[in-house]
Amino acid sequence: MKLVKFKKINKKLNFFQLKDIISIINSENRTSILSKLSKKNLTRFIQQVIKSNYLELFVVTKRRIIGYAILAKKPDYLLKSFKKFQLEFCFNLFLNFKFLTIFNIFISILNFDKILISDLNKKIISESLNLNLLGINKEYQSRAIGKKFLEYIFKYSIHKSKYVTCETDNIRSNSFYKKKLNFKSIGKKIRFLKNQDVLAKKL
Ligand SMILES: CC(C)(COP(=O)(O)OP(=O)(O)OC[C@H]1O[C@@H](n2cnc3c(N)ncnc32)[C@H](O)[C@@H]1OP(=O)(O)O)[C@@H](O)C(=O)NCCC(=O)NCCS
């Protein structure tokens, strides 16, 4: 843990910082929609997150960036900031034959992806902080950095909420959230080819 620091990013990232985050997204968050975007669009999206009043970008540094997380005040705000680039992103995805990703974006915009979730839990999801993405560089995983990073984020986020929610699509991250941070499953979001488990934690 020596030299490992956590911080919130408030100003535009430089070339190397962006390169570090994009490399973590592409290696650790390979099933996410963001990892399917071109480098140029991913850069625009990250810079937009920093500018937004409703989204926050946190990083873990050890000289370079070795981890990152994106937190939204509510899930809707993430879709809204995505909407600005929606057409261009979809066109870019189309040219790269990422048809399933386009399909998943549309079912999410139309709220069709939440039909398996109870009304009460839908309300919790729509009104809570959402941890949209999280990744720690492979070399530094399993050293309790992820757990401490999230505790830092929940303490220092400027947005206050009763719950924080997140989505997982693999057993390892699911057990990280449940065993290390006390998240509980509250339903499934439809995604082709693999549904996501929606988790929530009381803050
Ligand atoms: C999930 C993740 C953020 C956890 O960060 P971390 O620094 O490894 O977390 P911690 O050291 O605090 O806790 C590790 C625990 O998380 C779980 N875990 C989940 N994914 C893991 C991974 N890829 N490598 C190691 N542990 C992982 C294990 O239960 C592990 O427990 P163990 O070390 O006793 O085996 C990180 O492993 C990662 O970036 N994984 C790939 C991306 C991802 O799944 N992101 C979350 C969904 S968006």
User: Is the CB–ligand 1 distance for residue 1 below 6 Å?
Assistant: no
pLDDT at position 119, please? 96
pTM here is 0.93
Question: pLDDT by residue (tens digit) across 72-123?
Answer: 999 988 878 777 787 888 888 888 888 988 898 889 888 899 999 999 999 9
pLDDT at position 89, please? 86
Domain total for the chain? 1
Query: Is 198 domain-assigned?
Result: no
The CATH number given to whatever domain includes residue 62 is 3.40.630
**pLDDT, mean of residues 64-79:** 94
Query: Is 118 domain-assigned?
Result: no
User: Is the CB–ligand 1 distance for residue 171 below 6 Å?
Assistant: no
Query: Is 85 domain-assigned?
Result: yes
Return the axis-axis angle of helices 75-83 and 99-109, rounded to nearest 10°. 120
pLDDT at position 69, please? 98
Q: Which domain holds residue 85?
A: 5-112+130-161+171-184
Task: State phi, psi for 99 to the nearest 5 degrees.
Answer: -65, -40
pLDDT at position 33, please? 84
User: Is the CB–ligand 1 distance for residue 187 below 6 Å?
Assistant: no
Query: Is 9 domain-assigned?
Result: yes
Q: Which of 141, 164, 177, 181 maximizes ligand 1 atoms within 8 Å of its Cβ, making it the mutation to test the pocket?
A: 141
Atom of ligand 1 nearest to the CA of 169: 47
